[in-house]
Structure 1
Amino acid sequence: MDNAIVTLVIQHHVIAGVEPQYEAWLNEIVPTAQRFAGHLGVNIIRPHGGVGVYTIVLRFDTHGHLRDWVESDTRKRLTEQVASLLVSGERIEIKTGLEYWFTPADSAQKQAKRVKQFLVTLSAIFPLTVIVPRVLRPLFEAVPVLGWPIVSNFVIAVIIVFLMVYLIMPHYTKLISRWLFS
């Protein structure tokens, strides 16, 4: 598990009226986190519906790199700076693998049922298992070593997993969230 991609989800409930100061703090901490080893990306989900809750989603390539960021003096200093802008302390969750796809943004909401997780994952992966090999077939024919079964299957798997983690599932689960979490 130490080498699995890991997602750090931080929620901050910002005091009303100090949002500009909080945004300035975000403008400092985001590029700082991006300079840490293993950082794969960050997303900021800003408040909606009158609730001042910001959600920061950071991805790291390993637990070790995440731990380096979380335990760093830099992060501790920046977190201390923002504390006076928050209603309460930060809320942190660490997620690995597929579970993040099926965790609703509002933690008070229930988890998706396993059968729905299965159906959503199958409906996203199955078309990819048909399309990706067909798209890559000319490449596999042009470069013989890529056509070897173990190599071609590995390349196909890498592309499918990349598409699922970074492109398809974040948008797909948001699109069908009403059904998924009902």
Structure 2
Amino acid sequence: MGVTASRVPGGDGATVVTSQKIREGRVDAYKRWQEKTNHVAERFDGFEGAELYPPDSAEENEWVVVFRFAHVEQLTAWLDSGARRDLMDEARLLFEGAPTQEVLAGGEPAPQEQEVVTAVISHSVLPGKERDFLRWQDKVLKVQEKHPGFRGTELFEPVEGIQDKWVVAFRFDTRDHLDDWLASGDRERLLEEGNQYFSAYHVRKIGSAFSGWFRFGEGDEAGIPSNWKQAMSVVLALYPTVMVLNLTVGKVFNGWGIPGYLSLFISNVLSVSILTWVLMPLVNSALAFWLLPDRARSARTHVAGALVVMLCWAVFLLIFGLTTD
């Protein structure tokens, strides 16, 4: 697999965007392999997350995977590792042709309070046309800014001695607005002008959504658990948290004579903090087979996950019933 590395001034984060076509009949095997790859990557320093984006249609057949690391050096260590090479050798029969990637070093993350859709476009700029290409990109930006839903753009320059492609990432608030821009007459006219500055380009569309405790990075509402599953999962983490706090911090507060309204406020701050940064990530990981719509496709899985949660409830009730008055 060839690696395209790109860098912008400032910013420490590093993202690798990989696209690959999957052989017919091998999609399930690919998903299992990708999940295995994610688990291996998690063991590397600086790993922040991995997201899988399936194609919009069977005709496109382009699967996009995004890995995020805290620093470009940590991402490079993962890309160059023997563990990753072994995984790529294992998956060769799953792919149609060689996968392609861009590594985006630096840049600003997408705003987490919004749903956004990102397009990543790599350009093979003709020698001696770099300044013309940059002026053309400025013109593209001025036109993009006038289109509905535009949220911003970043330009990643090539790294001398590593690769020669320029990468542009731009965001829109919805897939429809992004598609409208990509199919617009304005962009078509700009591409006709830009063809004299680059020999080839490739477009990858990446969805991204955020939903508080349930941020799985699946790209759209299809990646968010059902409300009833969210409620059951929150109760699973919330009940033991509140009970333990009442039995520990609550007794301390009572002994110190802290007023009830203040004690309750502090306990709420502690419980929400524990849920957000400790317990809910653990619950999400342990119950991903049931919470993630992409995995929980059968009635048996829905029932099994619900039974697991209710069994945990029963265990907590038994424990606290035996240990409290």
Query: Where on the TM-score scale, by shorter chain, does this alignment land: which range?
Result: 0.5 to 0.7
Letter in 2 for 1:82: A
Matched, 1:20 2:47: no
Q: Distance in 1 between matches of 2:91 and 2:100?
A: 13
Could you say which structure has the higher strand fraction?
2
Query: Is the CA contact (8 Å cut-off) linking 1:12 and 1:89 kept in structure 2?
Result: yes
Q: Distance in 1 between matches of 2:17 and 2:38?
A: 13
Q: Distance in 1 between matches of 2:23 and 2:85?
A: 20
Could you say which structure has the higher helix fraction?
1
Q: Where does residue 141 of structure 2 map in the other structure?
A: 114
Q: Where does residue 137 of structure 1 map in the other structure?
A: none
Q: Where does residue 147 of structure 1 map in the other structure?
A: none
Instruction: State how many pairs are aligned.
Output: 136
Q: Distance in 2 between matches of 1:170 and 1:27?
A: 27
Q: Distance in 2 between matches of 1:103 and 1:21?
A: 27
Q: Where does residue 56 of structure 1 map in the other structure?
A: 65
Matched, 1:104 2:112: no
Tell me the CA shift for residue 46 of structure 1: 1.1
Letter in 2 for 1:12: Q
Matched, 1:69 2:107: no
Tell me the CA shift for residue 172 of structure 1: 1.9
1:1-182, aligned counterparts within 5 Å?
Answer: 4-50=12-58, 51-96=60-105, 97-98=107-108, 104=119, 113-116=140-143, 172=173, 174=175, 176-181=177-182, 182=184
Residues 106, 22 of structure 1: alpha-carbon distance in 2 compared, 3 angstrom cutoff: farther
Letter in 1 for 2:55: P
Q: Secondary structure at 1:74's aligned position in 2?
A: helix
Q: Secondary structure at 1:66's aligned position in 2?
A: helix
Q: Secondary structure at 1:113's aligned position in 2?
A: helix
Residues 2, 85 of structure 1: alpha-carbon distance in 2 compared, 3 angstrom cutoff: farther
Q: Secondary structure at 1:48's aligned position in 2?
A: coil
Q: Secondary structure at 1:176's aligned position in 2?
A: helix
Residues 25, 64 of structure 1: alpha-carbon distance in 2 compared, 3 angstrom cutoff: same
* Cα deviation 1:45-93 (Å, max 9, x = unaligned): 0123113221101111111001000001000100110011111011111
Q: Distance in 1 between matches of 2:41 and 2:91?
A: 15
Identity %: 21
Q: Of the two, which has the highest radius of gyration?
A: 2
Residues 171, 42 of structure 1: alpha-carbon distance in 2 compared, 3 angstrom cutoff: farther
Unaligned runs of at least 5 residues, structure 2: 1-8, 111-115, 124-136, 153-169, 185-325
Query: Is the CA contact (8 Å cut-off) linking 1:4 and 1:63 kept in structure 2?
Result: yes
Q: Distance in 2 between matches of 1:107 and 1:13?
A: 17
Residues 124, 179 of structure 1: alpha-carbon distance in 2 compared, 3 angstrom cutoff: same
* Cα deviation 1:123-149 (Å, max 9, x = unaligned): 869xxxxxxxxxxxxxxxxxxxxxxxx
Tell me the CA shift for residue 24 of structure 1: 1.2
Which structure has more relative contact order (CA 8 Å, sep 6+)? It is: 1
- Alignment RMSD (CA, Å): 3.5
Residues 93, 173 of structure 1: alpha-carbon distance in 2 compared, 3 angstrom cutoff: farther
Q: Distance in 2 between matches of 1:9 and 1:24?
A: 19
